[in-house]
Amino acid sequence: MSNNLLDIQANYFKIETFGAVDGPGVRLIVFLQGCSLRCLYCHNPESWKTSNVNKISVGEVIDLYQKNKAFYKNGGITLSGGEPLLQLAFVYALAKMCQLQKIHLVLDTSAANFNNINKSQYLKIIKCHPLWLIDIKHITEQGHKYITGSEQLNELALIKLLEGEKQNYWIRQVLVPGLTDKPKDLVRLGRFLKGLKYCQRFELLPYHKLGVNKYKQLEIKYPLLKTKLPTNHDLSLAKMHINKGLK
């Protein structure tokens, strides 16, 4: 079985050998290709397409990890994207190999393709016990649809599943002025977080414009050029509203 799993391939667009922000410790981060969402603040527009891409096998990812294993002793491997869970067979194969070799795996996902049809595939991955890093785009359907183009709050459905399976996960949300900073929505987010038992960490990430040049190169209009970056005061204020919901 292991050899078959090692041969399974995925489409990817970038690899970082020493990442430090997508999970605990220093990590090998593989950014998988393809995403069905079109988030207004996406900083990896090159990840959207699914054609003319590079391929990597589970075995090659494990080899890259082993090459720098000493640096990853407090970290591990992270699958990001795009949306890595669009390639469920590869994610399961890597998760299983990481479980067998005791390698810490993080899955950075917004669960864009999660539904009742592929729920069993998600459950197979859950049984390998990765750490889930879940990106909540917006706590409301209306806000989620405006930001992503999809009204399906699949990330919340995945969180419900993880809670039921007693699996650990982290949650992140980007603070975008005018989009995700409304006090009532942040209080609602806090109330949601309050009811969770297995969420180990919540991060409020400041919106940035590091991907603007990529849009220019791809000749895609960047939708948030006029949006200001959040200040430290904005972040503090947002955390205050979230804390209201937590109390």
In this prediction, residues 85-98 reach a mean pLDDT of: 97
Q: What is the pLDDT of residue 51?
A: 74
Most distant CA pair in the chain: distance in Å? 53
Q: Which residue, among 84, 82, 34, has the nearest Cα to 58 in the 3D structure?
A: 84
Q: What is the pLDDT of residue 148?
A: 95
Supply the pTM of this predicted model: 0.93
Q: Is the pLDDT of residue 2 over 70?
A: no
Residue 38 CB contacts under 8 Å (≥ 6 apart), including other chains: 48, 148, 149
Distance CA 44, CA 13 (A): 10
Would you place residue 1 in the very low, low, confident or very high pLDDT band (cuts 50, 70, 90)? low
Q: Which two tokens stand for residue 8?
A: 């399974």
Q: Is the pLDDT of residue 181 over 80?
A: yes
In this prediction, residues 154-176 reach a mean pLDDT of: 96
Bond prior to 82 in cis (omega within 30° of 0): yes
- Which residue did the predictor score with more confidence, 2 or 198? 198
Distance CA 202, CA 211 (A): 24
Q: Is the pLDDT of residue 98 over 90?
A: yes
| Mean pLDDT computed over every residue of the chain | 94
In this prediction, residues 65-86 reach a mean pLDDT of: 94
Q: Mind listing the pLDDT tens digit for each residue in 111-137?
A: 999 988 899 999 999 999 999 999 999
In this prediction, residues 238-244 reach a mean pLDDT of: 97
In this prediction, residues 165-171 reach a mean pLDDT of: 97
104 SS3 class: coil
Q: Is the pLDDT of residue 140 over 70?
A: yes
